[in-house]
Amino acid sequence: MRFELTPRTHVSPVMRALAPVAAFITAFLIAGFVIWLMGRSPVAAFDVYVLQPLSDPWALQELLVKATPLALIAIGLSYCFRANLWNIGAEGQYVIGAVLGGWLALKTHGTEAGAWVLPLMLLLGVIGGALYGLIPAFLKTRFGVNEILTSLMLVYVAQLILDYLVRGPWRDPKGFNFPQSVTFDPSATLHPILEGGRVHYGAVFAAIAVLVTAVVLGRTLFGYRLKLTGDAPRAARFAGFSSKATTMAVFAISGGLAGLAGISEVSGQIGQLQPSISPGYGFTAITVAFLGRLNPVGILLAALVVALTFIGGESAQILLKLPLDLTQAFQGILLMCVLAADAMVSYRIRFATRGGGK
């Protein structure tokens, strides 16, 4: 018996929209099976992972907090992935954004600096992430170096830079030798949208990014150019679109948004710099981008859904003693299911027996 693939001539939009849902359900069933193999109850796990966060107001806020960086980064990545470019170093761009923006917060710490600090910090975050993202883009366009490997290697470098800074020159002298910076001043803090709430203004940035991207991709020449570059590179060249300029642009956009996510998280959520400022948002955002079918609104929904697994993972660790690595494993399974579902939408898969027994 063997597989046979034939491209589908007509793909219904309903199927395209349902594919990620089917993928998500499949991923849940597989994860449930894994939990069962570990000798735990899949039903209890489902309750802790999904139902409890959704029925608890505090957890719902937490959901938005976690979805914010995911959506911001994934929106940026969707520009790259649409042009068939593989920026897998968003985690590093996120860190550098936080570092450059955080630098201003530490510089102005304890001074009378006014309301200009926070906007400038956010801007520095965007610039830091964009510049860091431009490194692999420049190496690719100028020298033809594979962007997948360079962008990934730069993640390790960025994490080491942050580690050096918070253990060395930026360590809080009164912090009992803990590797962390001073706590940011109120003027360097991204405030909650609602007084006393947890959701900070980063969520607004994410919403703006979704709206702007929806317009850019659907209504502008640049959006068309991305699609053409990804789907038919030769045609894009004949149309006079420079693939080098496109590469630089999408890496700058995705790096900038990852940097914004980084500085928003640090100034709105963590409140200081420390060696670890992300539970892997930059990598998880890849799953989010594909789960959302590289579509802005889809990505927003996907970010909320995947944020659920982060929160569920944290409470499952406390309540069920299920390790946090399970969440990462689930995200890997989810990405696999999404890619398989995408393929099933594009191709008809047949099991065929051929020539007796072979």
Partner 1 sequence: MTIVEAILLTIVTASTPLLIAALGELVTERSGVLNLGVEGMMAMGAACSFAAAVTFDSTLIGVAAGMLAGTLMAALFALLVLGFAANQTGSGLALTILGLGLSGLIGAPFVGARRDPIAPLDIPILSDIPVVGRLFFEQDLFVYASIVLTVLVGLYLMRTRSGLTLRSIGENHTSANALGLPVWRVRFWAILFGGACAGLAGAYLALVYTRFWSPGMTAGRGWIALALVVFAAWRPGWVLVGAYIFGAATVLQLHAQAAQFGVPSQLLSAVPYLATILALLLLSIRHGRAIGAPGSLGVPFVPDR
Residues that bind partner 1 (CB under 8 A): 2-7, 38, 86, 88, 139, 143-146, 148-150, 152-154, 156-157, 160-161, 163-164, 167-168, 283, 286-287, 290, 323-333, 335-336, 339-340, 342-344, 346-347, 349
For residues 125-157, b (16+ Cβ closer than 10 Å) or e, as one string? bbbbbbbbbbbbbbbbbeeeeebeebbbebbee
Residue (218 or 280) nearer to partner 1, CB: 280
* Beta strands 347-352; 2-7: pairing state: antiparallel
Residue (239 or 343) nearer to partner 1, CB: 343
Q: State the nearest-atom distance from the C-beta of 244 to partner 1, in Å.
A: 14
Q: State the nearest-atom distance from the C-beta of 336 to partner 1, in Å.
A: 4
Residue (65 or 326) nearer to partner 1, CB: 326
Q: State the nearest-atom distance from the C-beta of 86 to partner 1, in Å.
A: 6
Q: State the nearest-atom distance from the C-beta of 157 to partner 1, in Å.
A: 5
Q: State the nearest-atom distance from the C-beta of 327 to partner 1, in Å.
A: 7
Q: State the nearest-atom distance from the C-beta of 224 to partner 1, in Å.
A: 22
Residue (122 or 154) nearer to partner 1, CB: 154
Residue (203 or 345) nearer to partner 1, CB: 345
Residue (47 or 163) nearer to partner 1, CB: 163
Residue (113 or 340) nearer to partner 1, CB: 340
Q: State the nearest-atom distance from the C-beta of 347 to partner 1, in Å.
A: 6
